[in-house]
Amino acid sequence: MIEYPKLFIGPMTKNVVDTIIKFCENEGENIGLIPSRRQIECYGGYVNNWTTENFAAYVKEKSSLIIQRDHGGIAQGNCAARTSFTYDACSGFDLIHIDPWKIFTDVESAAAETAANMRFINNINSDCKFEVGTEEAIRKYEVEELEQLLSILKKTEPALFDKIVFVVIQSGTGIQGTQNIGTFDKQRCIDMIALCEKYGVSSKEHNGDYLTVKEISKRFDLGLSAINIAPEFGVLETECILEAIETEEQFDMFFDLCHKSNRWQKWLPEDFELTNENKRDIVMVSGHYVYSSDQFVELKQQLKDIDNKIQNTIYKRLKELTCAIK
């Protein structure tokens, strides 16, 4: 029987992936990888230019880590959803998160689209397991709505329902900049966890980034099964790079790459106005998106021993997080 991780981390960079593999081997820990469709995709993503097949092969050759597609589905990436699902299933992804909620916002249509995609994936690779539901940033739902989703799936797809490992619960998380601005709702957390237990599935919280060890532990003490953390690890790497940058010219090059990418717009407030004083904010939240560009690779080569410093920083945070969820 597969023992699924309590901690899932986005493969924000190659350093993050390599450090997680090393950490799990050294410490005997179990951490899952949750590539989004923009990070890792069938035709290549922004992380190390990895395709789905290349990423899966790299990880599986070096470890036995669980790989789960994060937010698979319509309007979540740059190619057709079912093309992406096909590559995920054929490349040996262990879990696939089916998330149609950007387009299908009412429970009944979201449940129908979720079920259709479960059937599609199962016909390609019957070993694939599933995660269903979505996070508050995409579509907030109440406990009753979550029960409606699970009830429909269990009634319409009883065999495939048994392949649902995780259900996304929403207890109050949200990311803006480099802060978690969510307001924790203890009762909501308790109720959603209880609902998952009622249906025999595991509960998972998304957007656990920037929470303190105490805030994470509190959720697991209430019975949470797993948590996702992603952009925080990209920020950790960018912090190390900024500390290592020695000249204004180096910083300006890094900033220009980040600013032109427009990726920072997802993470900063809508009323954000660029000034000389807040250029660093743009770099902090979007630095990881440009790591695979030729210009950044050239810049990074000027920074002495930077990968070791980055990996040591990531390793330390992994230690803190795994201690929090024991």
Distance CA(76)–CA(68), nearest Å, equals: 15
pLDDT bin (cut points 50, 70, 90) of residue 21 is very high
- Average pLDDT for 40-66: 97
Start-end ranges of CATH 3.20.20.70 in the chain? 7-231+315-324
Q: Which two tokens stand for residue 309?
A: 């410093």
- Average pLDDT for 199-213: 97
> Which residues share a beta bridge with 276?
none
- Confidence at residue 80, expressed as pLDDT on a 0 to 100 scale: 95
- Average pLDDT for 220-248: 98
Instruction: Please tell me the pTM assigned to this model.
Output: 0.96
Write down the residue that tokens 């329902």 correspond to: 161
Domain 7-231+315-324, CATH homologous superfamily name and number: Aldolase class I (3.20.20.70)
Are 285 and 177 within 8 A, CB to CB?
yes
| Digit-coded pLDDT (tens) for 141-169 | 999 999 999 999 999 999 999 999 999 99
Are 219 and 196 within 8 A, CB to CB?
no
Catalogue the E-assigned strands of the chain: 7-9, 31-33, 68-72, 95-98, 129-132, 164-169, 175-176, 179-180, 202-205, 226-229
- Average pLDDT for 36-49: 96
Q: Which residues of 312-321 are buried (b: 16+ CB within 10 A; e: fewer)?
A: ebbeebbeeb
- Average pLDDT for 8-19: 98
> Which residues share a beta bridge with 98?
72, 132
Distance CA(108)–CA(100), nearest Å, equals: 12
Check pLDDT > 90 for residue 78: no
- Which helix (H) or strand (E) covers residue 239, if one does? helix 231-244
Write down the residue that tokens 């070993």 correspond to: 127
Check pLDDT > 90 for residue 273: yes
CA end-to-end distance (rounded Å), the chain: 20
Check pLDDT > 80 for residue 1: no
